[in-house]
Structures are given as C-alpha cells and as structure tokens.
Amino acid sequence: MINIHKEVYGQGKPVVLIHGWAMHTGIWRKFAQQLAQHYQVICLDLPGHGLSESVEPYALQQVTDALIDAMPESTACVLGWSLGATVAISLARHYPQRVNALILIAGNPRFVQDGHWVGIQPKLLKDFANNLSINFSVTLIRFLALQVNSLPEGKALLKELKIAMKECDPPVGKVLQGGLDILSQTDLRDDLVSLNCPISIIQGDNDSLVPVQASLDMQKIKPACQLNIIEGAGHVPFLSHQSQLIKIINHFL
C-alpha cells in the first residue's frame, strides 16, 4: 500500500475530491473549506502528485487501486475534476460498493476527440508530452493558462493556480507523462453507461479544454445524469464560480 496524502475538512456526508493533472490538494483548499460547511470533505493527492507516493506503472488501474485505500471505508460521493473525473469514473466502476454518487467537473469519459465524439484535439496532448522534456516549467504554465485564458478574471485565476502549484514540488516527468497517457488513451464511455449511482456533470460554457458538447454527449449516452452548464465558467469553476458550484452540489446531494 502506498501513502496517499489527504486533507480533511468538516463533518457529515463524505465527499472525496480528486484534482486534475499536475495539481495537488492545494488547488481545492478555498473551495473545500466552503464545501465543508455542509459535508466532510476529503481531498486526495493523486499518486505522484503533491505529497503522495507514486505507483508503477503509472496507469489508470494502479491509480484507482491506490486511491481506494485512502477513501472512507463507508460509501462516499466522489468529485473529480478534469483528469480527476476520469479517475472518479474508474473508482465507481471498479469499487461500486464504495462510491454512492459521482460529480464530474470539466471531465469526460473519452478526453480526446474520437470519431463523432467531441473532445480535445489529440495534437494538443502530444504537444504537451513533447514539450515536457524540452521545457518543463513553461509547459506546466501553458497548461494552467489554457484553463483560465477565456475568462475576464483569467489573470487573477492564473496567479492563484501558480501559487497553489508552487506549494509542492511538481510531479516528476514520468508521472506527468503517465497522466497524459491516461487522458489520451482511456475510453470509459461504456463504464459510464454501466454505472448505477447518481451522476452530476458540471461544465463551464467557456471551457477551452473540454468542449460543452462533450458534456451534452455524456448525458445522451447516460440520460439519467444531471447536467449543469455554468455560464461564464471555464475549466476551473471551483475557483471562478465557487458559490454557484456549491449550490449545484447541494441540490444534487
């Protein structure tokens, strides 16, 4: 069993927060503390991110198995953002007895474009992978900028993201590459359809990484999903539209 770092706030129904690629629990902190007024909020560092030990090989199943050991023994709602949403779906699929609800923020069971499925352009992820070995820090900053550059408050949000990122050493190249491989290779559409737990999809209409159409298509293949599109939000609504997001979560849970 590897060590998974966690931060816990509040009391009540447990809600597990799983962050995105190259981030760590610090990115959630303000949002988590607000959400903890209603629930027990458990923020987990993905393997190899923040203060968590890594897994080998760095693949979705190994990441999923590592996180389940850090989750509450009772059932919990799992809230995943971006790459964290992919992991959340995998947790619900492989450990249904431990996950009683899913909240997917800026997530997608198939992250890249595939036939008629709308997703991120595969070239963008390939460029990130290639640039990691050339200029590590610039590549991460570019990724962060993509998440907020369409928003009026983008500069302030980018500054907040950079500060959070600097709390911990960045993941090593192997971990970052493994995360990109998960995003580019994973297809959990059938897994999503097979799930029996309640699912909430939350999407910003200005998200420059995950197209709004992807969330609409998720609801098409899983009509029971609750879909909320936040007007004016980008890829990080928990920073830009915190109050609205908490209202959506409270209504869902």
Catalytic one among 200, 235, 240, 241?
A: 235
Q: Return the SS3 of 17.
A: strand
Q: Which long-range contacts (CB under 8 A, 24 or more apart) does 60-66 make?
A: 60/86, 60/87, 60/90, 60/182, 60/186, 61/90, 61/94, 63/87, 63/90, 63/182, 64/90, 64/91, 64/94, 64/95, 65/94, 66/1, 66/2, 66/4
Catalytic one among 52, 54, 82, 200?
A: 82
- Whether 235 sits among the annotated catalytic residues: the reply is yes
- Whether 251 sits among the annotated catalytic residues: the reply is no
Catalytic one among 200, 207, 215, 217?
A: 207
Span between the terminal Cα atoms of the chain, in Å: 31
The H or E element that residue 246 is part of is helix 242-252
- Whether 82 sits among the annotated catalytic residues: the reply is yes
Which residues are designated catalytic?
Answer: 82, 207, 235
